[in-house]
Amino acid sequence: MTKDLSIPRDDDLEQTVAAWLAAHPDFFHRHPELVGELTLPHPTHEKTVSLVERQVSLLREQKLELKHKLQHLAQVARGNEQLLERLQKLILDLIDSQDLTSTLDLLETAMRRDFHADAVTVWLFGDAVAGGFVPREQARKVFQRLVEQGKPACGALRADQLAALFGEDTDVTSAALIPLCEGEGSECLGLIAIGSVDPKRYHAEMGTVFLAHLGAVAARVIRARLNHAA
């Protein structure tokens, strides 16, 4: 019977060696002959590669990953720049609008044309349904958090929320909701709902800074139009 003479793996020894090498990064510089003798298993196939080859491979992978990240950041920056330009144009057009009707028409048209919305609904809150206003309490029942917090929200909506905004037979699967508030703590005049048939178009992780700016400016303009009409 042959006795197993293999040396068991010593985790403590491995940790000690790893810590020592980390504390002495010049070790292989002082012992270059070892670099060529060390081999590592290749991450994608069975053959072994030298330490230098493995380091070169890792550097190439890191370079490629960094390149992809930079390309993504550049793409996001270009998208934000274009979005800012469209938002600036919309704000100037809102300021030049003559009355409440033209202001609301402008908002809906711009959302569809410049922001590629599949569906748009603008609600103005009021104490009665007269004049196309939505009773505030009715809106609060369906969108309580949005009305109370006054912050934009994006993502999938409940069935009752979709029906209230876009109708029972809507194809909208994701939406961005923009409260018409001039700032946190201010009264919410209404909301703008932008709907998309793409379930991934609007999601909870997306930024809402531009939406908040749009809501604040639109609220200021709408308040001025309401005061002028009173």
Alpha helices in the chain (DSSP H): 11-23, 27-30, 32-37, 51-96, 100-113, 136-142, 144-149, 159-166, 209-229
Residue with tokens 């590592």: 40
Q: What is the pLDDT of residue 16?
A: 87
In whole angstroms, give the CA distance from residue 148 to residue 142: 12
Q: What is the pLDDT of residue 1?
A: 47
Contacts of 43 (CB under 8 A, 6+ apart): none
In whole angstroms, give the CA distance from residue 150 to residue 177: 10
> Which phi and psi (to 5°) does residue 145 adopt?
-65, -40
| Collapsed DSSP state (helix, strand, coil) of residue 159 | helix
Looking at residue 15, the DSSP 8-state letter turns out to be H
- For 62, the enclosing helix (H) or strand (E) is helix 51-96
Q: What is the pLDDT of residue 43?
A: 60
Is 202 exposed, middle or buried (CB count within 10 Å of its CB: 0-12, 13-18, 19+)? buried
Q: What is the pLDDT of residue 55?
A: 74
Contacts of 99 (CB under 8 A, 6+ apart): 225, 228, 229
Length of the chain: 230
Look up the pTM and report it: 0.69
Tens digit of pLDDT per residue, the chain (230 long)? 454 545 545 677 888 888 888 888 888 778 777 766 666 665 655 565 566 676 777 788 888 899 999 998 888 888 888 888 989 999 999 999 989 999 999 999 999 988 889 999 999 998 755 556 888 888 888 898 888 888 999 999 999 999 999 998 899 999 999 999 987 777 889 999 999 999 999 999 888 899 999 999 999 999 999 887 76
Identify the CATH assignment for 97-229 out of 3.30.450.40, 1.10.15.40, 3.30.70.141, 3.30.300.30.
Answer: 3.30.450.40
Residue with tokens 């609904």: 121
Q: What is the pLDDT of residue 189?
A: 92
- For 192, the enclosing helix (H) or strand (E) is strand 190-196
